[in-house]
Amino acid sequence: MDLSNITTERRNPRSMKIDELSTLDMLTIINEEDQQVPQAVGKILPQIAEAVDITAEHLSRGGHLFYMGAGTSGRLGVLDAAECPPTYGTEPDLVQGLIAGGESAMFRAKEGAEDSEELGARDLQAHGFTDIDVLVGIAASGRTPYVIGGLKFAAKQGAPTIALACTEDAEIAALADIALTPVTGPEVITGSTRMKAGTAQKLVLNMLSTGVMIRLGKVYGNLMVDVRASNEKLVERAHHIVMDATGCTREEAAGALADANGHAKLAILMLLAGCSASEGIQRLRKNHGRLKEALD
């Protein structure tokens, strides 16, 4: 295995003597390096847009979005997937995160699990991956065998594949239909890809899932109208969403939410269109959950 050509494995000349610096100077170097991350992501916006559009199209036809990675990359995928149901009211299996070594690897590193291509293919097969689904393979180095195995399996099914790596000429980029490669350069601590590379991956995953949910009609204006009001904070947020979208009073929002069984999107439609809950449900179904179209 030759790591010398992998960007994320090179030594960073700006942090060579970081262990000799004052704490403030040490943190200043880290901060200055972190500022390069959004610039790297900005360079691949057209590719991210392409990934959003193809993913939204497949999910609108009943497909699922799978993230697959090992270590930090895998954890970031699991995190993004886990946040979709409470934020956008999606079913738990719409966006799924797979990490090498299984769920326990979220909390305790299982580094050896990433070395098996067969494991990547088996994990996708076990989760019922088909050609209507979309796979995002995440690997900062671009060479993780677990991810490579998953991408090869997904390609054989005829499914769209997306690679997210942080190095030039990444191996997984050559295997995918769409390559997302924000090149963030050598890490402050050599090879510690939970730093700049991990931050870049988080930004890209935020864009990808958010963009997909917007395209699926989960957002009205900039309001998360499909939020699942499952705790006190989210119940309060639902009230504010209905009030912001309609200009109604808190009492009117509370009444509409009660009639809508806590569903902010339905409550907004009822208030703006002057319709009943049952009529609103039918309108939303007819328009695939898109509030603006249901209002029109």
Catalytic residue, candidates 50, 57, 83, 117? 83
In this structure, what is the dihedral angle of CA atoms 111, 116, 119, 121, given to the nearest 10 degrees? 130
CB-based contacts of 65: which residues, under 8 Å, 6+ apart?
55, 58, 59, 81, 94, 95, 96, 133, 134, 136, 209, 212
Q: Quick check: is 83 catalytic?
A: yes
Distance of CA 39 to the CA centre of its chain: 19
- Tokens linked to 121: 């293919």
Angle of CA points 218, 247, 284, to nearest 5°: 35
Return the H-helix or E-strand segment holding 158: none
Query: What is d(CA 3, CA 8) in angstroms, rounded to the nearest whole number?
Result: 9
Return the H-helix or E-strand segment holding 216: none
Q: DSSP state, 245?
A: H
Catalytic residue, candidates 33, 114, 171, 187? 114
* Alpha helix (H) residue ranges in the chain: 23-34, 37-42, 45-60, 71-88, 117-126, 145-157, 171-175, 196-215, 232-246, 250-259, 264-273, 277-286, 291-295
CB atoms within 10 A of CB 17: 10
Q: Which residues are catalytic?
A: 83, 114
